[in-house]
Structure 1
Amino acid sequence: MTGQVYLVGAGLENIAYLTLRAYHLLSHAEVLIYDALIDSQLLNLVPYNCLKINVGKRGGLPSTKQETINKYLVDYCLEGKQVVRLKSGDPLIFGRVNPEINALIKANCNYELVPGISSALAAPLLAGIPLTDKVLSRCFTVLTGHQPDLLDWEALAKIDTLVILMGGRTLSIIIQCLQDKGLAITTPIAIIRHSGNHKQQVWLGTLGDILDKVYGVSLSPAVIIIGEVVTLKFMDFSSFLPLTNKTILVTRAAEQSSQFTLLLQQQGATVIEMPALEIVPPSSWEGLDSAIKDLSTFNWLILTSANAVEFFFKRLDYYGKDARALSEVKIAVVGKKTASVLQNYGLKPDFIPPNFVADSLVENFPESLSHQNILFPRVETGGREILVKELTKFGANVVEVAAYQSGCPSTIDTDAWDRLQSGKIDIITFASSKTVENFYQLVQQALEKESSLRISAILEKICIASIGPQTSKTCYERLGRVDIEAVEYTLEGLVEALIKSYCIVL
């Protein structure tokens, strides 16, 4: 297999602004070599067995030497790997990509450049600041403030609008240089830090007072806009979205949280992810391997989760097979999400129970279950047994095989825990009973180590939202209550339930 290196722009520190091309490449990457200033959620898009290498590349902090990064790219490409080199923003805008391209060319390695949304353009827009205006700004220029002594400040002072990246550490020098070349101290300036995510901050001022306004603040990463267009700052449309000003804690498997996060962000929410599940291969492939070899003996394949779909087809691929191996097998799935993941493999389910829950699968099964041979790839331990009991009760022969394991992370996410303790979470969402159990366990462990508080005190003013009845039952058992339950037991249904509860009237 021929190796390939993809030099990919990750855009802002927010997965919502990733390009579709980048998303596709990440989902098929065998090696990921990434910089520090990317949204950590992007790491969840790669396959579970992808090698991930953090090379740093953040101003003022230790980073991997460029020669080492070049060697990683070349070596893994020559091994035949699909390598994604993930850079913040756009790879050709201050991305220092030239040494990497030159190393790849010298080694005769295939490579492709994939654009990303640069913060130079996106940060002003997301802050409501136009870079051009027919009166105030007929042109703008983008520059780096990393080495201000190398720039022509006399020429820059004549440009309508300046967009400066990597200028937080040299802000005082930049201001002095512009004033020395005739720019008035009343010239407007905006500084945007952590553009596009829940940490975003915007400071507005002039060349004369901005240093006082950001005194003691670390301005990395930040985008600086200087010019009269700053006075045109528009109101952010997101302030009118239903979940604006709501901070939502998402408790799902890290590998699955990104889609739900995006749905919530599209409604204006600030989302904090707390991985409460770890999805890994089963302790043994023996059962699933044996079933795959005998696929022709089964009448039905039942898939009750996206994880079951992904691990089943990855194992199918391991044996050189694809969806055609299921040509004589009917497929039943539980839930829209499971059906959607199945369609990624070119298949449509033959049956989806109407209520999107496993309990209704038997009740509404489209055929007599008597003497049906059913393959059921599932979680290795901890899953509900009711489905197998009911199928067997009606005469089906069910072969259960372990397709994956789901466990509890060893420690609670630091950012999530800090926000929980400080009362900065408005809503917690649960999409399965397992996430409720693991959330309870992680919080109890943290409380024993760090706090005299009880879990009830931490959750007292937080809304608890559940995806459906079974998850709600576990919420009542562990957390004592449920405030919102989805009518349709899907992620989209859970978002809809939140919108109805918090919808603002314009």
Structure 2
Amino acid sequence: MGKVYLVGAGPGKIELITLRALALLKTAEVLVYDALIDAQLLTLVPCECLKIEAGKRGGKESTPQTTINQLLVAYCHQGKRVVRLKSGDPLIFGRSGSEISALIEENCQFEVIPGISSALAAPLFAGIPLTDPLLSSCFVVVTGHQPEDLDWCTLAKIDTIVILMGGSTLELIVEKLIAQGRSPTEPVAIIRACATKEQEFWQGTLADIVEKTRNRSLSPAVIVIGQVIQARFMSQPLPLTGKTILVTRAMEQSSEFANLLETQGAKVVEMPALVITPPSDWTALDQAIANLVGFDWLILTSANAVEYFFSRLSELNLDARALCQLKIAVVGQKTAASLAKYHLKPDFCPPNFVADSLVAHFPETLTNQSILFPRVETGGREVLVQELSEKGAKVTEVAAYQSGCPSEIDAIAQYALLNREVDLVTFASSKTVQNFHRLVTQITENNILEGVAIASIGPQTSKTCQELWGRVDIEAQEYTLEGLTRAICAYYGFPK
């Protein structure tokens, strides 16, 4: 048996869908979608999923409702997992009743997944509370599609009125309310394309709102009428509000950097540009672990090195106690944080958080020091080993992990880049710069970063950006994710 899921896509931004909706999209076999959904949602379904546009837009050719009903029933009877994706909430002016009736009549299994309605989200994004202890004890949501069918005598008495699909009938709505005794000075707010980069806002009164919006497109729009608009609050602008930032990262990496940027108001698109895997051969690392007593220092220059080294230690039935005679040096706060997971603190971390400063600030004379250096198998920098050796250290390099390039570009990142939605792209390593360059040249010959700012975490990464892209717009002063976040905010004028 197939099954149909009537899913609410929320008001606009892709990140405003529910976790349940996300899970269903990732397993959909057939997607029948609305006209107003975020197009990036289409990239979440499997490649083999059949995508059918069935949106309804006023004044434009639309798919008949009976046809949509037939499609849902037909694919359900074929045993398909069908997602009917609707903007907002599927049961708020979404014509879901007709679809549900057809599914019940044809004995089709179905489930309804709620979404955030623009009736609630649009006022919120505009800073308008729908209720207030003094100005609004209640609100009503109506459709303005056919205003002549509404009970305006009753509506005019309600504190706050929220109207969907009323852009083309705004003048008639105003006339009806004034005719029923609502004051011409009553505040009116209109929010168009809420929760998108195209969001627009107008504020006026019943007396002047029509003139203020004349010759302006008001679709899709939410109209709010009531004294509660006086309680509108203006959020303090965040440094990165309105900016879309593409973050290149390792496939398995957490969203720590994305969270830092989102806290500053950015919309973040994450693009895996590194695949971290075990080395081709564990032999060298295993031999080094078996001879840990022969080393004076263990140097770890990345979180990946920490994770793979300790994972291998565990595989060999050992733990952190095997390192009791070793001193540990790390490069960067993130590497130190990874080490802390194993209840260890580094004996040395260079002040600039980069490998280049490790030798210059090493706390001991390097002559005759025996150093174990677990590192990436190929493609890593050789300068550190060379400088340690020149100072008299005996360095044993062993492969602890391998980093490679994903086979293809992430679909959401590709969509954002090709549609010129990205304002800035970030790189936290030379490898991510190289792999990003390789991935984007597979999809276009054009300069995909034209007009897009480039941000680098440090000098070596910046050098690679210069080699492949000819420029770097932002470089962190402190070579950490927090430092890069501060540098990006400063680039856009914060703090002023």
TM-score for both structures, normalised by structure 2: 0.65
Residue matched to 1:199:
198
Residue deviations 1:353-373 (CA, integer Å, cap 9, x gap): x9999xxxxx8549xx9xxxx
**Partner secondary structure for residue 22 of structure 2:** helix
Change (3 A) 1:266 1:401: closer
* Distance in 2 (alpha carbons) for counterparts of 1:202 and 1:106: 43
Tell me the SS of whatever aligns to 1:92: coil
Which residue in 2 is equivalent to 1:46? 45
User: Which of 452, 455, 464 in structure 2 is aligned with 1:465?
Assistant: 455
Kindly indicate whether the alpha-carbon contact (under 8 Å) linking 2:476 and 2:483 is maintained by their aligned counterparts in 1. Answer: no
- Does structure 1 conserve the Cα–Cα contact (< 8 Å) formed by 2:9 and 2:88? yes
Report what 2:246 is aligned to. Answer: 250
Gap change, CA 1:63 and 1:482, over 3 Å in 2: same
Question: Aligned AA for 1:17?
Answer: L
What is the TM-score normalised by the length of structure 1? 0.64
Contact 1:35 1:58 in 2 (8 A): no
Query: Once the 2 structures are TM-superposed, how far is the Cα of residue 34 of structure 1 from its aligned partner?
Result: 1.3
1:356-435 correspondence to structure 2 within 5 Å: 365=374, 404-406=407-409, 413-416=418-421, 425=423, 427-430=424-427, 432-433=432-433, 434-435=435-436
Q: Does structure 1 conserve the Cα–Cα contact (< 8 Å) formed by 2:90 and 2:115?
A: yes
- Once the two structures are TM-superposed, the CA of residue 469 in structure 1 deviates from its matched residue by 6.8
* Structure 1 position 123, deviation (Å): 1.0
Identity value in percent: 48
1:31 matched residue in structure 2: 30
Q: How does 1:332-343 map to 2 (within 5 A)?
A: none
Superposed displacement of residue 193, structure 1: 0.7
Equivalent residue for 1:151? 150
**Counterpart-to-counterpart distance in 2, 1:495 and 1:78:** 51
Secondary structure of 2:446's partner?
Answer: helix
Classify 1:114/1:411 alpha carbon distance in 2 versus 1 (closer, same or farther; 3 Å). closer
1:493 shift after superposition? 8.0
SS of structure 1 residue aligned to 2:140: strand
Q: Deviations over 1:13-58 (max 9, x none)?
A: 1123222222222233232221111122222322333332222223
Change (3 A) 1:262 1:222: farther
Contact kept? 1:30, 1:83, Cα under 8 Å: yes
SS at match of 1:268: coil
> Is 1:140–2:131 an aligned residue pair?
no
Q: Deviations along 1:103-125, whole A, 9 cap, x unmatched?
A: 22122222111111111111112
Distance 1:410 1:226, change over 3 A: closer
Equivalent residue, structure 2, for 1:445? 446
- What pairs with 1:97-246 in structure 2 (closer than 5 Å)? 97-235=96-234, 237=235, 239=237, 241-244=238-241
Structure showing greater Rg? 2
Judging changes above 3 Å, is the alpha-carbon distance between structure 1 residues 474 and 180 closer, same or farther for their aligned structure 2 residues?
same
| Residue 267 of structure 1, aligned match among 264, 268, 278 | 264
Measure the CA separation in 2 of the matches of 1:242 and 1:356.
Answer: 27
Deviations 1:177-199 (A, max 9, x none): 11121222111100001112222
Instruction: Say if 1:117 and 1:55 are closer, same or farther in 2 by CA, change over 3 A.
Output: same
Counterpart AA for 1:476? Q
Which amino acid is the alignment partner of residue 115 of structure 1?
P
Distance 1:278 1:41, change over 3 A: farther
Query: What whole-Å deviation, never above 9, does each CA across 1:133-167 have from its counterpart, x for those lacking one?
Result: 22222211100000011111111111111000000
Cα distance change of structure 1 residues 212 and 122 upon mapping to structure 2, 3 Å threshold: same
Counterparts of 1:467 and 1:58, CA distance in 2: 45
Kindly provide the CA deviation profile for residues 269-327 of structure 1, in whole angstroms up to 9, marking residues without a partner as x: 3x497x99999xxxxxxxxxxxxxxxxxxx99xxxxxxxxxxxxxxxxxxxxxxxxxxx
Asked whether the equivalents of residues 167 and 218 of structure 2 are also in contact (C-alpha less than 8 Å), the reply is yes
The 1-side partners of 2:139 and 2:145 are apart by 19
Question: Shift of the alpha carbon at 1:411?
Answer: 12
Q: Deviations over 1:193-235 (max 9, x none)?
A: 1112222111110011111211111001110001111111111
- Contact residue 489 and residue 495 of structure 2 kept, 8 A: no
User: What is the DSSP-based 3-state SS (H/G/I as helix, E as strand, rest coil) of the residue aligned with 1:234?
Assistant: coil
CA distance in 1, matches of 2:466, 2:480: 17
Kept after mapping to 2: 8 A contact 1:466/1:486: no
Matched position secondary structure for 2:219? coil
Deviations 1:66-111 (A, max 9, x none): 2232233223323333222111111111011012112221222221
Please say if residues 247 and 258 of structure 2, whose CA atoms lie closer than 8 Å, have aligned partners that are also in contact. no
Q: Name the CA distance, whole Å, in 1 between partners of 2:440 and 2:207.
A: 49
**How far did 1:484 drift?**
2.5
Per-residue deviation, 1:169: 0.7
> What are the residue-to-residue correspondences of 1:271-310 with 2, within 5 Å?
271=267
Tell me, yes or no, if the aligned pair for 1:8 and 1:85 is still in contact at 8 Å.
yes
Root-mean-square deviation (CA, aligned residues, Å) is 5.2
Counterpart Cα distance in 2 of 1:46 and 1:26: 5
Question: How many residues are treated as equivalent by the alignment?
Answer: 408
Aligned-partner residue type, residue 498 of structure 1: I
Q: What residue number does 1:481 align with?
A: 472
Q: Give me the whole-angstrom Cα distance separating, in 2, the residues matched to 1:45 and 1:201.
A: 27
Residues 401 and 232 (structure 1), Cα distance of their counterparts in 2 relative to 1, 3 Å cut? closer
| Larger displacement relative to structure 2 (187-196 or 42-51) | 42-51
> 118-127 or 76-85: which moved more?
76-85
Q: 1:443 to 1:152 in 2, by over 3 A?
A: same
Distance 2:485 2:213 in 1: 37
CA contact (8 A) 2:193 2:220 kept: yes
Q: Are residues 473 and 4 of structure 1, via their aligned partners in 2, closer, same or farther at CA, if it must alter by over 3 Å?
A: farther
**Does the Cα contact within 8 Å between 1:192 and 1:224 map onto a contact in 2?**
yes
Inter-partner Cα distance in structure 1 for 2:243 and 2:227: 34
Cα gap change, 1:129 to 1:409, in 2 (>3 Å): closer
Instruction: Specify whether residues 97 and 272 from structure 1 end up closer, same or farther in structure 2 by C-alpha distance, changes over 3 A only.
Output: same
Unaligned runs of 5+ in 2: 275-284, 287-314, 318-348, 356-371, 382-395
One-letter code of the match for 2:455? A
Q: Is the 8 A contact 1:16 1:262 kept in 2?
A: no
- On the 8 A contact 1:243/1:503 being kept in 2, the answer is no
Whole-Å Cα distance in 1 between the matches of residues 258 and 59 of structure 2?
A: 31
Q: Where does the alignment leave 5 or more consecutive residues of structure 1 unmatched?
A: 280-298, 301-327, 331-353, 358-362, 370-375, 377-383, 388-392, 418-424, 448-454
